[in-house]
A = this chain, B = another copy of it.
Amino acid sequence: MMLCDIGNSNADFYQDGKVWTLSHKEFEHFTPKEKVYYICVNDPIQKRLKTKELFIDLEPYFEFDTIYQGMGIDRIAACYTIKDGMIVDAGSAITIDIMSAGMHLGGFILPGLSAYEKGYASISERLKMPLNPSIALDALPQKTSDALSYGVIKSIITLLEITCKDKRIFFTGGDGKFFSKFFSNAIFDRTLIFRGMLKVIQEAHLD
Protein backbone atom coordinates (compact mmCIF):
# COMPACT_ATOMS: atom_id res chain seq x y z
CA MET A 1 0.00 0.00 0.00
CA MET A 2 1.35 3.40 -1.01
CA LEU A 3 0.56 6.60 0.90
CA CYS A 4 1.14 10.15 -0.29
CA ASP A 5 0.94 13.48 1.58
CA ILE A 6 0.95 16.44 -0.80
CA GLY A 7 1.96 19.64 0.96
CA ASN A 8 2.73 23.20 -0.08
CA SER A 9 6.30 22.40 -1.19
CA ASN A 10 6.54 18.66 -1.89
CA ALA A 11 4.78 15.33 -2.12
CA ASP A 12 5.91 12.88 0.57
CA PHE A 13 5.48 9.15 -0.03
CA TYR A 14 5.33 6.18 2.34
CA GLN A 15 5.46 2.49 1.57
CA ASP A 16 6.42 -0.43 3.85
CA GLY A 17 8.12 1.88 6.36
CA LYS A 18 10.11 3.70 3.67
CA VAL A 19 9.67 7.43 3.12
CA TRP A 20 10.66 9.51 0.08
CA THR A 21 9.87 12.90 -1.42
CA LEU A 22 9.05 14.27 -4.87
CA SER A 23 8.93 17.94 -5.81
CA HIS A 24 5.60 19.17 -7.19
CA LYS A 25 7.20 19.14 -10.65
CA GLU A 26 8.40 15.54 -10.27
CA PHE A 27 5.00 14.57 -8.89
CA GLU A 28 3.33 15.84 -12.07
CA HIS A 29 5.13 13.13 -14.04
CA PHE A 30 4.49 10.40 -11.48
CA THR A 31 2.17 7.65 -12.78
CA PRO A 32 1.33 5.03 -10.16
CA LYS A 33 0.92 1.36 -10.99
CA GLU A 34 -1.06 0.67 -7.82
CA LYS A 35 -3.55 2.46 -5.56
CA VAL A 36 -2.17 5.60 -3.87
CA TYR A 37 -4.00 6.71 -0.73
CA TYR A 38 -3.41 10.42 -0.45
CA ILE A 39 -4.17 13.67 1.34
CA CYS A 40 -3.55 17.05 -0.30
CA VAL A 41 -3.57 20.70 0.83
CA ASN A 42 -2.61 22.08 -2.58
CA ASP A 43 -5.80 23.11 -4.41
CA PRO A 44 -4.61 22.86 -8.06
CA ILE A 45 -3.03 19.42 -7.49
CA GLN A 46 -6.11 18.24 -5.58
CA LYS A 47 -8.33 19.22 -8.53
CA ARG A 48 -6.12 17.25 -10.92
CA LEU A 49 -5.97 14.12 -8.71
CA LYS A 50 -9.74 13.97 -8.35
CA THR A 51 -9.94 12.81 -12.00
CA LYS A 52 -7.32 10.05 -11.62
CA GLU A 53 -8.53 6.57 -10.89
CA LEU A 54 -5.65 5.11 -8.83
CA PHE A 55 -5.54 8.09 -6.44
CA ILE A 56 -7.84 7.70 -3.44
CA ASP A 57 -8.42 10.81 -1.34
CA LEU A 58 -8.49 9.90 2.38
CA GLU A 59 -9.81 13.29 3.52
CA PRO A 60 -13.52 12.28 3.60
CA TYR A 61 -12.78 9.33 5.88
CA PHE A 62 -11.22 11.24 8.80
CA GLU A 63 -13.52 11.60 11.81
CA PHE A 64 -11.91 14.28 13.89
CA ASP A 65 -13.34 16.00 16.97
CA THR A 66 -12.68 19.75 16.68
CA ILE A 67 -14.45 23.09 16.42
CA TYR A 68 -11.52 24.48 14.41
CA GLN A 69 -12.77 25.75 11.04
CA GLY A 70 -10.91 24.84 7.87
CA MET A 71 -8.16 22.80 9.52
CA GLY A 72 -5.75 21.46 6.88
CA ILE A 73 -6.08 17.71 6.33
CA ASP A 74 -2.33 17.27 6.95
CA ARG A 75 -2.77 18.77 10.44
CA ILE A 76 -5.74 16.50 11.09
CA ALA A 77 -3.70 13.46 10.01
CA ALA A 78 -0.76 14.51 12.21
CA CYS A 79 -3.08 14.80 15.25
CA TYR A 80 -5.09 11.68 14.42
CA THR A 81 -3.02 9.16 16.39
CA ILE A 82 -2.27 11.43 19.38
CA LYS A 83 -4.63 11.37 22.35
CA ASP A 84 -2.75 13.86 24.54
CA GLY A 85 0.04 16.20 23.55
CA MET A 86 1.22 19.10 21.44
CA ILE A 87 1.75 18.32 17.74
CA VAL A 88 4.23 20.46 15.81
CA ASP A 89 4.57 20.04 12.05
CA ALA A 90 7.58 22.16 11.09
CA GLY A 91 7.54 22.45 7.31
CA SER A 92 6.87 25.37 4.91
CA ALA A 93 4.62 26.61 7.72
CA ILE A 94 4.91 25.52 11.34
CA THR A 95 1.56 24.32 12.65
CA ILE A 96 1.00 23.73 16.36
CA ASP A 97 -2.01 21.79 17.66
CA ILE A 98 -3.11 20.68 21.10
CA MET A 99 -4.82 17.36 21.73
CA SER A 100 -6.36 16.52 25.10
CA ALA A 101 -8.24 13.29 25.86
CA GLY A 102 -8.66 12.68 22.13
CA MET A 103 -10.14 16.13 21.52
CA HIS A 104 -8.50 18.87 19.46
CA LEU A 105 -8.41 22.06 21.57
CA GLY A 106 -7.19 24.42 18.82
CA GLY A 107 -3.91 25.49 17.36
CA PHE A 108 -1.88 28.15 15.67
CA ILE A 109 0.54 28.74 12.83
CA LEU A 110 4.01 30.26 12.48
CA PRO A 111 5.97 30.81 9.28
CA GLY A 112 8.44 28.05 8.40
CA LEU A 113 12.15 28.90 8.43
CA SER A 114 12.34 29.78 4.73
CA ALA A 115 9.15 31.87 4.98
CA TYR A 116 10.89 33.89 7.73
CA GLU A 117 13.85 34.35 5.36
CA LYS A 118 11.48 35.62 2.67
CA GLY A 119 9.83 37.95 5.17
CA TYR A 120 13.19 39.46 6.16
CA ALA A 121 14.26 39.72 2.50
CA SER A 122 11.07 41.69 1.73
CA ILE A 123 12.15 44.41 4.21
CA SER A 124 15.64 45.27 2.97
CA GLU A 125 18.63 43.95 1.00
CA ARG A 126 20.54 44.19 4.29
CA LEU A 127 18.29 41.53 5.85
CA LYS A 128 18.49 39.14 2.88
CA MET A 129 20.61 36.29 4.23
CA PRO A 130 20.23 32.63 5.17
CA LEU A 131 19.25 31.84 8.75
CA ASN A 132 21.74 29.98 10.91
CA PRO A 133 19.73 27.44 12.92
CA SER A 134 22.67 26.60 15.20
CA ILE A 135 22.71 30.13 16.63
CA ALA A 136 23.47 30.31 20.37
CA LEU A 137 20.31 31.26 22.27
CA ASP A 138 21.92 32.00 25.63
CA ALA A 139 23.77 35.20 24.64
CA LEU A 140 22.53 38.38 22.94
CA PRO A 141 23.60 38.55 19.24
CA GLN A 142 26.38 40.94 18.22
CA LYS A 143 25.85 41.06 14.46
CA THR A 144 22.96 41.19 11.98
CA SER A 145 23.08 37.58 10.72
CA ASP A 146 22.96 36.27 14.30
CA ALA A 147 20.29 38.84 15.24
CA LEU A 148 17.96 37.51 12.52
CA SER A 149 18.53 33.83 13.38
CA TYR A 150 18.15 34.47 17.12
CA GLY A 151 14.87 36.36 16.62
CA VAL A 152 13.36 33.55 14.57
CA ILE A 153 14.59 30.48 16.49
CA LYS A 154 14.16 31.95 19.99
CA SER A 155 10.66 33.34 19.31
CA ILE A 156 9.51 29.96 17.99
CA ILE A 157 11.11 27.90 20.79
CA THR A 158 9.83 30.26 23.50
CA LEU A 159 6.24 30.14 22.27
CA LEU A 160 6.38 26.33 21.99
CA GLU A 161 7.73 26.12 25.55
CA ILE A 162 5.01 28.23 27.15
CA THR A 163 2.31 26.50 25.10
CA CYS A 164 3.27 22.88 25.82
CA LYS A 165 3.55 23.26 29.59
CA ASP A 166 4.01 19.65 30.81
CA LYS A 167 2.56 17.97 27.71
CA ARG A 168 4.56 15.67 25.45
CA ILE A 169 5.54 17.26 22.14
CA PHE A 170 5.36 15.33 18.89
CA PHE A 171 7.44 16.87 16.12
CA THR A 172 7.22 16.07 12.44
CA GLY A 173 8.05 17.83 9.14
CA GLY A 174 11.33 18.81 7.50
CA ASP A 175 12.53 20.96 10.42
CA GLY A 176 10.89 18.83 13.11
CA LYS A 177 14.08 17.00 14.06
CA PHE A 178 15.92 20.31 14.46
CA PHE A 179 13.29 21.81 16.77
CA SER A 180 12.82 18.60 18.76
CA LYS A 181 16.40 18.89 20.08
CA PHE A 182 15.43 21.91 22.21
CA PHE A 183 12.92 19.91 24.27
CA SER A 184 13.42 17.08 26.75
CA ASN A 185 9.79 15.95 26.47
CA ALA A 186 9.88 15.71 22.65
CA ILE A 187 9.42 12.88 20.18
CA PHE A 188 10.37 13.30 16.52
CA ASP A 189 8.36 11.11 14.18
CA ARG A 190 8.86 11.66 10.48
CA THR A 191 5.91 9.37 9.75
CA LEU A 192 3.34 11.00 12.07
CA ILE A 193 1.05 12.06 9.22
CA PHE A 194 1.36 8.63 7.58
CA ARG A 195 0.44 6.96 10.86
CA GLY A 196 -2.75 9.03 10.86
CA MET A 197 -3.43 7.96 7.29
CA LEU A 198 -2.84 4.29 8.11
CA LYS A 199 -5.24 4.59 11.06
CA VAL A 200 -8.03 6.02 8.91
CA ILE A 201 -7.51 3.32 6.25
CA GLN A 202 -7.90 0.68 8.96
CA GLU A 203 -10.94 2.37 10.56
CA ALA A 204 -12.71 2.76 7.21
CA HIS A 205 -11.72 -0.77 6.06
CA LEU A 206 -10.36 0.68 2.82
CA ASP A 207 -7.63 -1.88 2.26
Contacts and interface: CB of A to CB of B under 8 A. Distances in A.
Given A140-B106, A155-B158, A158-B159, A120 B111 contact: yes
B116 A147 contact: no
A77 B5 CA distance: 50
A203 B125 CA distance: 32
B142 A92 contact: no
A159 B148 contact: no
A144 B75 CA distance: 12
Q: How large, as a class, is the contact surface on chain A?
A: 35 or more
A147 B95 CA distance: 9
A109 B151 CA distance: 5
Given A43-B125, A143-B68, A159-B155, A93 B120 contact: yes
A144 to B, nearest CB: 5
A150 interface: yes
Contact of A162 (B95, B106, B143, B158): B158
Contact of A142 (B68, B142, B155): B68
A152 B156 CA distance: 10
Contacts of A143: 68-70
Interface string A77-113: 0000000000000001111101000000111111110
A107 B112 CA distance: 22
9 pairs of A and B residues whose beta carbons are closest in the complex: A106-B140, A119-B119, A115-B119, A111-B119, A69-B143, A110-B151, A155-B159, A155-B155, A108-B150
Interface of A: 8, 41-43, 67-70, 72, 92-96, 98, 105-112, 115-116, 118-120, 122-127, 139-144, 146-148, 150-152, 154-156, 158-159, 162
Given A43-B126, A109-B127, 14 more contacts: A8-B123, A43-B125, A92-B123, A105-B140, A106-B140, A107-B140, A108-B150, A109-B148, A110-B152, A110-B155, A111-B120, A111-B123, A111-B151, A158-B159
